[in-house]
Structure 1
Amino acid sequence: MIFKLYQSAICIGEADLCGAPQFRFCAQDSGEWGPWAPVAPPFGAPELVPLGFDLCLIAENVSQMAQFFASVADGETATAPWGRRYTRRGDALLGRDTKFCIDLWFDGGQPFAFCAANLNCTYVLVREGMEQKTVLAAWERAGVSAPEHKAVFHGTEMIAMRDGVHLATHVWLPEGTNGPLPTILYRTPYNAMMAKNHCMRFVRRGYALVMQDLRGREQSEGEFIALGSERNDGSDTLDWIAAQPWSNGDVGTIGASYGGFVQWEMAASGNEHLKCMVSQVTGGTPFQDLPRRGGTLMCGMLPWAAMMSTRCLDLKSRERMARDDWDEVFQMRPLASIPERIFCEKVATWDAWMREPTDSFWLEPDWRRGLGARVPVMIESGWFDDDHQGSMSAWDVARNLPRDKRFLLLGPWLHGGNSQRDSHGHPLGNDAIVYELDLYWQRWFDQHLKQRNMGFAAEQPTRYYMLGANEWRTSDTFPPEDFCTQTFYLGDGTLNKAEQESGTVCYCYDPRDPAPHIVDPSENEMSVPGNYREVEQRSDVICFDFPVTQELEIAGYPEIEFYAASSAVDTDWVVRVTDVDEAGNSIKLGENIVCARYRNGYERAELLTPGKPEKYALRLGWFANRFAAGHTLRVHITSSAARLAFPNPNTGEPIAQSTDCRKADQTVYFGGLYPSRITFSVKD
């Protein structure tokens, strides 16, 4: 019983699951087959370890699958004898309650295919001859470039940047092509060669591939300081590619997180060779996203900065992130000294981030000031992506492009993206995983780099997932055009469609006892769909509720204007929107944070006059959610988010150097002269 393993619709292996299971790998570059070998832990074969596809799980349990499938009713969720949980839907068992789901597909009651997706690609292990019953058929129908070339390594070159620093740049070319080629550029701080496994597909389909380690990373010269140098280095790299004899001068880029940020920095340079981008869960500008969102300092970025403090992404760097004492580390003061105290050395990125928002260091990473609006872009993000503000800024830049030059894909995903149907005990729905995500990327490149008609003009350029309904929808833009703005006014513990009589709500904020932000720092996810039920019982969290009596759909980014005073000269404000069910579970949807001294912008700090009401305006994270009848639409306000942002000490001192803190009496005003309100995009 031979099964073929496909990665992004390219065959990379075969498995014989009869008797003693065996596997042989097909090299992703040359297409040459290796020898058969027994399936063995941890993933079945050494070549599968970097892919994360667990062939062992399948091989060890395939004999039990038909019986288990028959025992599960359609729509039922059950635990298999091998410990994994699945929901049956028709002829499939869909993986649940794990970060990386493997779905089981059946034909005539027998397993014939196993599918797993992630942010970068989809894997399909399918019985030979049954490929057309899987997502592989969609690739064939799409008519994308065929994987008909071998990938030939052209070498690693140390290319010079304008300041003389040389960056390690790895080049692959498709064998048997004539004439100059379009190029896919992948720039990363995470070891470019580690991404070879999911980037070879582009070379196999007729593109030149350039993968580059950023300044100060791996073999590249210089010092890595996150957010620095990316615009010039990216533009210089584009010019170098265009000057090569194998290049036709047209370059497309792809990358996630920081790999998205570097793309937008390239776009901001206005370089003419950048023809299109695939922006995945992109990092944003420093004050809208990370590390200084709203002028605060995001403590959730310290584990990342620690991991990136070594030149190479290795065991040492990962150990720096995977500590079990981050809560204790986050309490060390002053903040600027933390790396020296826990690692006995400075961290250049952390030192740079200690600069106040008014420092000129922060000007260059604001790619919204550049020329990126002219570059065709596909933007992918998730409602629970901790870089969601980055993708929101990207959409601000791209939303007015012609329809065939923008595509927005918004799923129920975390930053890791497209691999799970449940997070922190919260179900995201059977359709939370999209098998065709990598097909979208391929179609985009073929459309804009090879001028092939990939059908985007006939599609709605926005595809988004409606939580609660747990279904995908399409629209021309986002917020969707069939949603309209509706204002809700804050009242005495209530949200109301009518303006309210004047009043106040007060609480005391103690930086030594900050309200929790639900997250595990070592998980490297800072925006999970956490349940804030217990947090909202605290005296320093105030809630405003709108009981939902009939189904209510909201899709967009809520914008809140509220009036508040503090007894301190500086403080923070945190606002969240949650969906509260009949049992009182309060699931976070959108949120944001602002440091009071930067309420009027980041060009200058303006301390508060104690007791004086000030107006604050925040755009919360985007989401699409159906609130069921009987649920409650809730807005809560507090002044801290432990594990997300370092607590504001309320002293007015620069947070990086502060060692003291004091309590603050906070007052939120509503009604009359202070009409605190929040606007949502609500379904007509």
Structure 2
Amino acid sequence: MHPSFYYLILSGIFLGVSVALAAAAYHFQIYRYVYNWYLGLRSPSCKVAKEHNLLIPMRDGIILSADLYRPKEEGRYPAVLLRTPYGKENTEHSYPVLATILCSLGYVVLVQDVRGKYASEGEFNPFIHEEKDGNDTIDWISSQQWSSGAVALYGFSYLGSCAWLAARDPHPCLKTIIPMFSGQNAYRGWVDHGVPYLKDILYWLSRHGGRKGRDVPHEEVDLMIWQLPVLQFDKRLKDGIDTFKTWMHHLHVDDYWRSISVSHIREEIRMPVFFVAGWFDRFLTNTIEDFLETSSANAYQRHKKSRLLIGPWEHHPSEEFPEVSFGREAKFRSCIKFFVEWLDLHLKGEASTFDENNPIDYFMMGENRWRKASSWPPKEAKEKFYFLHGMGKANTMSGDGVLTAEQPADEKQDHYVYDPLDPCPSLGNNMIYGNQTEGPREQSLVGARRDVLAYKTEPLPAPVKAVGPVSLILFVSSSALDTDFCAKLVDIHPNGKSYFLVAGFIRMRFLDSVRATHGIEKGKIYRLEIQLGHTAHAFLKGHRIGLLVTSSDFPNHGRNLNTGGSNEGDSEEAKAFQTVYHGGIYASRLSLYTVE
């Protein structure tokens, strides 16, 4: 017979065996063992039963829909609650997989569509109803026959916000929360000291502002964000129009933002929290501040220590970027076992292996390994300054800008022109929806621009390990009535390529207060203190520490039109002649905290 005949026979046998094995695996729920082994978890102890579209009434009569995953074996179990605007059966967010894993370990898991989304009744108004709806749902859980009376809220991003808001006035059964890539302060998630995170706002509302999510090409939003005035975006939004208008009219902290935040009542939090963040996530600084202030807010928190975990991740999260990989140890999935151990500790009362003397686990980039700390920055970290200098030609990465450990005696100036119609792109950032621009992106495109000043050290004779907050004192003047200044910390490799680490931004009209409406004086020299956020990165031997200074970070931040008028309501713009001063009495300098 022809050889192809035998090939067909063997293929058929192989296919039949594969189907039979798959059916058997499904029947005996073998996949649970595979998942748990893959994630480094203990073997499953429970078979999983799922109930679809349970109807849960809220105090105002609105019905929310949820899927319930519970052990088939009778008994009372602790519960883990996930409240999502992205669809409770969303496979992209892996809710069914996560729920199955936790359920196999002895937890009931409830995945709920928040109000106004997918199968739940009501109108979606971001964050507004999550405190009451979260607690009403916990009340429902606690009344069920299978409930042990212990509940945790868990989740990424908006789900983390749902956890925080339920903790504002918590139900007695809420024992802990695990908010990931989120924060207590809703304002700072969407507005940076008066400046809207424009692309993220528009993309999120375009995609998720309606009852169901929709596929939105980035090009559709990119076209919108170039249009002026900004407030006309609402005419192009298909969903989320009311929310967009509200946020654009609340660009400072007020009662609206306080009503959907927790940061102003941290001292009232009486439960342990497992904080999770990424070095390239929008909520990193917010999360670190939340951890530091919550952990010391009251006697309960000082005794019942919360924990903080920070990895080399962006918002979604991933350790793999187009030009940088942080290795196997950085994989987010390797950390899931810690979250399960946390739940076991606080919902089941089981013993844990957590190091209570070192509640912080962080990933040191460059070295690409995990470290522990008892405080942030670590106690052994020392502040080190790098002074800006040069001969007045620091434009582009090929310019003469330098960073030195010694303060230069002679005063010099660097100049550039910022044009709102040709803004510096947000390449390398902490955006939520950066469309592959987020994270440690290579900076050649940015560093080649004439409106970018670059300052760099000599090649390092030994590694410099920066761990902690990064800040910049910058002396500047402008020809504009209002303008922006922003800075990036970069790692310059021996081959000349430079990679983004962290960035900061300031709008001049808000120097004194986010509520300020006045502009600045043309030509006056101002002392700026720009907070770039936090990092843990080893600049290796032969590398250079680099600093990029410019006046736009678009579309991450909305553009400053330089007129002193409304950057959101106007369409008129003007170029700005910018000057950076260094040396002598103008000690412009970069601050890093370093460890051995």
TM-score after normalising by structure 2: 0.84
Match of 2:419 in 1: 510
Share of identical aligned residues, percent?
A: 26
CA contact (8 A) 1:168 1:220 kept: yes
User: Does the 8 Å contact 2:75/2:146 carry over to 1?
Assistant: no
Shift of the alpha carbon at 1:352? 2.1
Match of 2:130 among 222, 230, 237: 230
Aligned residue for 1:466?
364
Partner Cα distance (1:395, 1:638) in 2: 31
Aligned partner of residue 251 in structure 1, secondary structure:
strand
Query: What residue ranges of structure 2 are gaps of 5+ in the alignment?
Result: 1-10, 391-400
Alignment check: 8 A CA contact 2:46 2:72 kept? no
> Which residue number in structure 1 is paired with residue 322 of structure 2?
424
**Partner in structure 2 of residue 413 of structure 1:** 313
AA of the residue aligned to 2:82: Y
TM superposition shift of 1:198: 1.7
RMSD across aligned positions (CA):
3.2
- Following the alignment from structure 2 to structure 1, what is the Cα–Cα distance between the partners of residues 293 and 173? 19
Give matches, 1:596-675, under 5 Å.
Answer: 596-675=508-587
Q: Is it true that 1:178 corresponds to 2:75 in the alignment? A: yes
2:288 paired with 1:392: yes
Distance of aligned partners of 1:545 and 1:272 in 2 relative to their CA distance in 1, 3 Å threshold: farther
CA deviation vs aligned residue, 1:580-638 (integer Å, no higher than 9, x gap): 11222110001122222223343444432222233333332322111122211112211
User: 323-332 or 637-646: which moved more?
Assistant: 323-332
> How far 1:447 moved relative to its partner?
0.3
1:574 to partner: Cα distance: 1.4
Amino acid at match of 1:621: G
- Pair 1:261-2:161 in alignment: yes
Matched, 1:682 2:564: no
Q: In 2, are the aligned partners of 1:270 and 1:370 still within 8 Å (CA)?
A: no
| Counterpart check, 1:348 vs 2:236 | no
Other structure's SS at 1:569 match: coil
Conserved in 2, the CA contact under 8 Å of 1:25 and 1:33?
Answer: no
Give the aligned residue type for 2:326.
Answer: L
SS of the residue 1:168 aligns to: strand
Is 1:546 the counterpart of 2:457? The answer is yes
Report if aligned partners of 2:205, 2:240 keep a CA contact under 8 Å in 1.
no
The AA in structure 2 aligned to 1:298 is Y
Rounded to whole Å, the distance in 2 between the matches of 1:424 and 1:155 is 39
1:206-605 equivalences in 2 (<5 Å): 206-283=106-183, 285-288=185-188, 290-301=189-200, 302-313=202-213, 317-318=214-215, 320=216, 322-341=217-236, 343=238, 347-358=241-252, 360-371=255-266, 373-400=269-296, 401-402=301-302, 405-418=305-318, 420=319, 422-433=320-331, 435-457=333-355, 460-492=358-390, 493-501=401-409, 502-518=411-427, 524=435, 527-547=438-458, 548-605=460-517
Of the candidates 5, 22, 25, which is equivalent to residue 18 of structure 2? Answer: 22
* CA gap 1:223/1:334 in 2 versus in 1, 3 angstroms: farther
**Runs of 4+, deviation exceeding 6 Å:** 519-522
Q: CA deviation at 1:639?
A: 0.9
Conserved in 2, the CA contact under 8 Å of 1:482 and 1:683? yes
Q: How far did 1:307 drift?
A: 0.2
C-alpha distance after superposition, 1:143-180 (max 9, x if no partner) = x8x5324335286123214x55443344443333334x
Q: Distance in 2 between matches of 1:18 and 1:605?
A: 76
After superposition, what is the alpha-carbon deviation per residue over 1:302-339, rounded to whole angstroms, capped at 9, x for unaligned? 112100122113xxx12x2x243543322112222224
Structure 2 distance, partners of 1:228, 1:608, is 36
Aligned-partner residue type, residue 22 of structure 1: S
Label 1:436 to 1:622 Cα distance change in 2 as closer, same or farther (>3 A). same
Q: 1:192 aligns with which of 64, 80, 88?
A: 88
2: distance between equivalents of 1:274 and 1:484? 39
Distance across 2 between alignment mates of 1:405 and 1:18: 57
CA distance in 2, matches of 1:235, 1:658: 42
- Partner secondary structure for residue 499 of structure 1: coil
Letter in 1 for 2:406: A
Going from structure 1 to structure 2, the CA distance change for 1:364 and 1:474 (only over 3 Å counts) comes to same
**Inter-CA distance 522–562: structure 2 relative to 1 (3 Å threshold):** closer
Contact 2:475/2:525 (CA < 8 Å) preserved in 1?
A: yes
- In structure 1, runs of 5+ residues without a counterpart are 1-15, 36-47, 49-121, 126-130
Contact 1:579 1:587 in 2 (8 A): yes
Q: Which residue of 2 aligns with 1:113?
A: none
How high is the TM-score relative to the length of structure 1? Answer: 0.74
Q: How many residues align?
A: 559
Does the Cα contact within 8 Å between 1:404 and 1:461 map onto a contact in 2?
no
How far did residue 438 of structure 1 move? 1.7
Q: Name the CA shift for 1:19/1:149 in 2 (closer, same or farther; >3 Å).
A: closer
Change (3 A) 1:294 1:374: same
Q: What are the residue-to-residue correspondences of 1:39-118 with 2, within 5 Å?
A: none
What's the offset of the Cα at 1:33? 4.4
Partner deviation per Cα, 1:489-542 (whole Å, 9 max, x = no partner): 333333233333344322211100001111699665663211112312222111
